[in-house]
Structure 1
Amino acid sequence: MMDKEHIRNFCIIAHIDHGKSTLADRMLQLTGTISDREMMDQVLDSMDLEREKGVTIKASAVRMIYQAKNGESYELNLIDTPGHVDFSYEVSRALMACEGALLVVDATQGIEAQTLANLYLALDADLVIVPVINKIDLPSARVDEVAEDIHNLLGIEPEKILRISAKEGINVDQVLETVVKEIPPPKGDLDAPLQALIFDSHYDSYKGVVAYVRVMDGKVNPTDMLRMMSTNVDIRPVEIGVFSPDMRPVKELQAGDVGYIATGLKTVSECRVGDTITTIVRPAEKPLPGFRHPKPMVFAGIYPVEGEDYEDLKEALEKLQLNDASLVFEPEKSQALNFGFRCGFLGLFHMEIIQERLEREYDLDIVVTAPSVEYEVVLNSGEVIRIDSPAQLPDESQIAEIREPWMILQIITPVDYYGTVMELVKKRRGIFKEQEYPAPTRVQLTFEIPLSELIVDFFDELKSRTRGYASMDYHFADYRPGNLTKLEVLVGGEPVDALATIVHRDNAYHKGQALVSKLKELIPRQLFDVAIQASASGRIISRANVKALRKDVLAKCYGGDITRKKKLLEKQKRGKRRMKMVGNVEIPQEAFMAILRLEED
């Protein structure tokens, strides 16, 4: 076993696409952990989706043995963290498992909101920060400018900041040297009762749930009986080991080590991220701090396009849940879409990933309804109920007030786009709180904004208004009463539950009108007139008709008496009336997505 003084546990924090995975690849190559033959881009990103979107979705860990220039050997444990705002709880647990963090900033982009959010998490966890400027080989790199920004933020002298190109391998060896010199070795008492932090987990069909752990105190052997402290589940490990980068069994993990414990458990929900593992014989007094259940923030209905795929969809969601405990779902029935599931996600990005994985990995055709958030409804009786679907909203006469979730939103943008960002947030009912200037040309704006305004198209609009330069980060603030109402859509006189939304009363008329106009274009013409109506607060606020397709019954009358024509038209009219009574309007998938893309004027 390596002496504790020669262990370094660190992670890399960076914004999406700032070169975190590429830097990890170079380190694996330099330390000989992976031979050139096995090398491919983004080794630690094993999912196709991660490679395509250029973002780490699942955290992973890897152990490297590094020969330092002083002749000593060091064990470096790199814990790779997810880079997206939806996964900030997972990031905070991964940071707990480290003593230091490499802060990677793109020389062409500068400091982004996500970097700052994760940097504050790292500073809260008392980590040693080693700043690194990446992509210095690009012609558009602004190295000195970015170094000055980091100096203003952290107080580190610009000349001491490492300047590298992970892609070209320039100066990556200096990063490893700095990690050894700057980041302290782990603390921890070998003789204390076992405390191991779970910072991630995945499901393996042979070994059950594999918990990624950092041993804080004590040691763990493959023969120990172990207990999860928050769920009180007892296990005997199938095996314990380290990642280098594939799973390698070892005889023992000691305080300071990062490795895995294969638990043999069947569901990830029994082995939660942030939980503490201890031994049954000599348990720790209390679990490590900071554990909480990740709470879904965004909800949407997922339905199979073909009714017979329902069982396949259920099976696919169960399999995804094995690896992702934050995904929750329950069966739901809709008049328009039949049987499906109501799913809860950490955020929009999480929802997009689940949707793509269902379509790709399980080859399913699915309809996803417009996302909504969880509201608190206070009834006249004083009872408080939580609803995550507009269909569950009780009758207006029973409601005292509706509360909606508000978020604290931070946006970092070049100063040039200050006005357009302000306008966007104001249009979405945001409240301006404060501003700071992390660099002379960039401004950090803090707002409070309802989550329901954030989840629909906000990020896309922010990017297009700022030419892609702005970045954002958000976290939950509280529930606040709002002047809200349910906006319903009736097609042919029948309410379509999947098209219902909860909106602010001031916007109901505007949104209802826009939705009706949009649906008029999308719903195909039938052989009879179809009325599309929007209703809010018990009254119709907008209506449009989809004109009927007509067969030219007069084609054979090329002259003759007018009464013959009238008789034929009358007969056609009677037929249309009868058809309308039995007619069924097919609503295409685009109509359900129309709610998402309502352009606000």
Structure 2
Amino acid sequence: MKNIRNFSIIAHIDHGKSTLADRIIQECGAVSERELTKQMMDTMDIEKERGITIKAQSVRLDYVKDGEHYILNLIDTPGHVDFSYEVSKSLASSDGALLIVDAAQGVEAQTIANVYLAMDNNLELIPVINKIDLPAADPIKVAEEIETSIGIDATDAVLVSAKTGVGIRELIDAIVERIPAPSGDPKATTKAIIYDSWFDPYLGALALVRVFDGEIKKNQLVKLMSNNEEHQVLDLMYPHPLKRQKTNAIKSGEIGIVVLGLKDVSIVNVGDTITDAKNPTAEPALKYEPAKPFVFAGLYPIDTDKFEELRDALNKLKLNDSSLSYEPETSIALGFGFRVGFLGMLHMEVIKERLEREFDLDLIATAPSVVYHVYLTNGDMVEVQNPSELPSVSQIEKIEEPYVKATVITPSEYLGNVITLLISKRGMQDKMTYLNEDRVMLEYSLPMNEIVVDFYDKLKSISKGYASFDYEPIDFKEGNLVKLDVKVAGEVVDALSIIVPITSAESRGRALVKNMKEIIPRQLFEVAVQASIGSRVIARETVKSMGKNVTAKCYGGDITRKRKLLEKQKEGKKRMKSIGKVNLPQEAFMSVLKMD
């Protein structure tokens, strides 16, 4: 055990975690030059295409220092704020962490958030300043920034360039010297935590575990503590991006994959403790807090017969992404589907794309919303995720909306633009700190509803990509909110309803119907698109009818012949208008997102 090192790599998005992981794998000789590819640890196509890490990945490496053989268990974690739950899972099973900071960009918002996660888990932190080969790199200034903004000693920070390979061997030596060996009792009864899981079409549900006490052996009968299920261990493997290595036992302090041959994916829960069935441990290894979804949206199959396939796909995806939560719901406009909880907008995009790619589904997503606490006049409180579930105005005493503490780090030249954006999103300033002469850290309280749609995109565009953003939920506060409904051809489309502040309801309503007018295809009859608050219509646009020349067949003859045909057409259009149905395209449901 004294020669095992379990560590995670944490950083803000795009500071070079995946490239550094590639260099460490290469330096340890785990893959040959021929097998080496970019972003070895990123296994999904969507990760490689977008250049981001979505899933934390583990690999077991061998390293020899001063004639001594060490085992390094490396976990590469995502950097985007939406995937911080992946980071917290990985840190709970590590003994130390590498804190990567870009030598040109310095400390960013997610860097600070990840450091606090690591400190909560009492991990040994090694500051690593990456990209020292860049012309704009300033390692001394970045080391000072780490000390002032985070408060950890950066005098012995390791300077590396993951791209060129400079300083990688020194970094691995620092990991061996500075990260503590795992603690645990090899002779005690089995105690291991599941910190990741996924579905394999050949092996069933797989669990990635960190063993704290005792060992897990092949053919051992083990118990999952959360549901008291007992299963036999069919196989054991060590994780590797290319070739998993089979083993007969995963010992105390080690990380490995457990194959239980489970077809029912709901049995394996991330955060659960695996112990020996005959001699179970008294206490669970760790207590994981389940992820709390912030953003909710409806996912519906375009082909309504695919509802069961969507249910199976969500079941399998939940095994791979334990932060996902969902429940069935129905919509008058869209039929049967699921209300799905996400950690943020990028998480929502990624899940929708994975469902479409990996499970071959065509889906419609409704506009995202957050959870509101609605207090009724009879004294009850109900939680509302879907705006269409909001009770009538006469029954509501007050509505509370969730607030977040937003941390924004920006170059001082964009400070005015960023503050203007935060104020326009109903933000209240808590703190403003100058990290150095040209970088400012802002802390604001913001309604969650204002940041779920386009806040991140706008922040990036007004700061030319330099501002970084992180948030954490704080509490619920009362808001003056109303439900904005959209009527198409006189019928309310429940999937387009949104909850908005009363001050911006009219402008949002006008913008929404204007967007909708452009998107709804023209019919043979006029279609009225209206925005309303309760029974009061606040905005209206009309989609003009398609012209059809019914008099084309009249050549000559009396004018009454043409008039008769036109009157007949007029009657037909009137009848169509009363019974006609309008099919809304997918863009209509996303037009709610594109309002300014």
Shift of 1:460: 0.5
What are the equivalent positions in structure 2 for 1:303-382 lying under 5 Å apart?
A: 303-382=300-379
Aligned to 2:514: 517
1:430-481: CA deviation from partner (whole Å, max 9, x where unpaired): 2211122334322221112122111111111111111111111112212233
- From 17, 37, 54, the counterpart of 2:34: 37
Does the CA-based 8 Å contact 2:199-2:316 persist in structure 1? no
TM-superposed deviation, 1:244: 4.0
Question: How far did 1:293 drift?
Answer: 2.0
Query: Are the counterparts in 1 of residues 193 and 286 from structure 2 also a CA contact under 8 Å?
Result: no
Q: Is the 8 A contact 1:278 1:284 kept in 2?
A: yes
2:333–2:493 CA contact under 8 A, matched in 1? yes
Which residue, out of 215, 218, 222, partners 1:219?
215
d(CA) in 1 for partners of 2:264 and 2:31? Answer: 31
Instruction: For 2:270 and 2:84, locate their aligned partners in 1 and report how far apart those are by CA, in whole Å.
Output: 12
Residue 60 of structure 1 contacts residue 200 of structure 1 at CA under 8 Å; is this kept in 2? no
Superposed, which structure 2 residues align to 1:47-446 within 5 Å? 47-68=44-65, 70-153=66-149, 160-245=156-241, 246-446=243-443
Native 8 Å contact 2:219 2:234 kept in 1 = no
Shift in CA distance, 402/40, structure 1 to aligned 2, threshold 3 Å: same
Match among 460, 479, 485 for residue 463 of structure 1: 460
CA contact (8 A) 1:268 1:323 kept: no
In the alignment of these two chains, the number of paired residues is 595
Q: 2:10 aligns with which of 13, 26, 30?
A: 13
Structure 2: runs of 5 or more not aligned: none
The separation in 2 between residues aligned to 1:503 and 1:155, in whole angstroms, is 40
Deviations 1:226-277 (A, max 9, x none): 2223333322222233224533232322322222222333345432222222
Amino acid at match of 2:405: I
Report the CA distance between 1:569 and its aligned residue. 4.4
User: Amino acid of the residue matched to residue 98 of structure 2?
Assistant: L
Matches within 5 A, 1:448-487: 448-487=445-484
Rounded Cα–Cα distance in structure 2 between residues aligned with 1:528 and 1:386: 40
SS of 2:593 mapped into structure 1: coil
Instruction: For residues 167-215 of structure 1, give each alpha carbon's deviation from its aligned partner in whole angstroms, at most 9, with x where no partner exists.
Output: 2212211111111111121222223333222221222234332222222
The answer (yes or no) to whether the contact 1:219–1:255 under 8 Å persists in 2 is: yes
Change (3 A) 1:312 1:273: closer
Q: 1:316 to 1:286 in 2, by over 3 A?
A: closer
CA distance in structure 2 between the aligned counterparts of 1:50 and 1:318, rounded to whole angstroms: 21
Q: Which residue of 2 aligns with 1:573?
A: 570
Q: Residue 85 of structure 2 contacts residue 323 of structure 2 at CA under 8 Å; is this kept in 1?
A: no
Q: What amino acid is the match of 1:317?
A: L
Deviation for aligned residue 1:121? 1.0
Aligned with 2:261: secondary structure? coil
The residue type equivalent to 2:40 in the other structure is V
Q: For the Cα contact (< 8 Å) 1:326–1:345, is it kept in 2?
A: yes
Q: Residue in 2 aligned with 1:494?
A: 491
The one-character-per-residue Cα deviations of 1:363-400 (angstroms, maximum 9, x if unpaired) are: 33221111111222222222222222112222222222
Aligned partners of 2:328, 2:150: CA distance in 1, in Å?
49
CA distance in 1, matches of 2:425, 2:124: 38
Matches of 2:240 and 2:340, distance apart in 1: 36
Structure 1's 350 and 320: CA in aligned 2 closer, same or farther, altered over 3 A? same
Per-residue Cα deviation, 1:562-588 (whole angstroms, up to 9, x for no partner): 877765544443232122123222322
Alpha carbons of 1:251 and 1:434: their partners in 2 closer, same or farther (altered >3 Å)? same
SS of residue in 2 equivalent to 1:287: coil
Distance 1:48 1:557, change over 3 A: closer
Contact 1:410/1:473, CA 8 A, preserved across alignment? yes
CA contact (8 A) 2:484 2:497 kept: yes
Secondary structure at the residue paired with 1:510?
helix
For the residue of structure 2 that corresponds to 1:262, the secondary structure is strand
Distance of 1:214 and 1:438 partners within structure 2: 38
Query: SS where residue 373 of structure 1 aligns?
Result: coil
Mapped partners of 1:350, 1:475: distance in 2: 15
- Cα distance 1:587–1:118, how it changes in 2: closer, same or farther (>3 A)? same
1:153–1:386 Cα change, 3 Å: closer
Indicate the residue corresponding to 1:595 in structure 2.
Answer: 592
Contact 1:268 1:325 in 2 (8 A): no
Letter aligned with residue 425 of structure 1: L
Q: CA deviation at 1:557?
A: 8.3
Secondary structure of 2:145 counterpart: helix
Any idea what SS the aligned residue of 1:160 has? coil
| Deviation for aligned residue 1:521 | 1.8
After superposition, the Cα gap between the structure-2 partners of 1:151 and 1:482, relative to the gap in structure 1 and judged at 3 Å, is: closer
Q: 1:527 aligns with which of 524, 527, 530?
A: 524
Contact between 2:266 and 2:315, CA under 8 Å: does it hold in 1? no
Q: Distance in 2 between matches of 1:130 and 1:218?
A: 29
CA distance in structure 2 between the partners assigned to 1:323 and 1:422 by the alignment: 38
Amino acid at match of 1:404: E
My pick for the range that moved more, 533-542 or 209-218, is 209-218
Residue 304 to residue 280, structure 1, CA distance change in 2 (3 Å): closer
Following the alignment from structure 2 to structure 1, what is the Cα–Cα distance between the partners of residues 240 and 540?
Answer: 63
Deviation of 1:36 after TM superposition, in Å, equals 1.7
Change (3 A) 1:314 1:448: same
Compare 254-263 and 490-499 and name the one that shifted more: 254-263
CA-CA distance at 1:158 after TM superposition: 5.9
Q: Distance in 1 between matches of 2:569 and 2:277?
A: 81
The CA distance in 1 between the partners of 2:362 and 2:249, in whole Å, is: 47
Shift of 1:13: 0.6
Aligned residues of 2:268 and 2:319 also touching (Cα < 8 A): no
Q: TM-score, normalised by structure 2?
A: 0.93
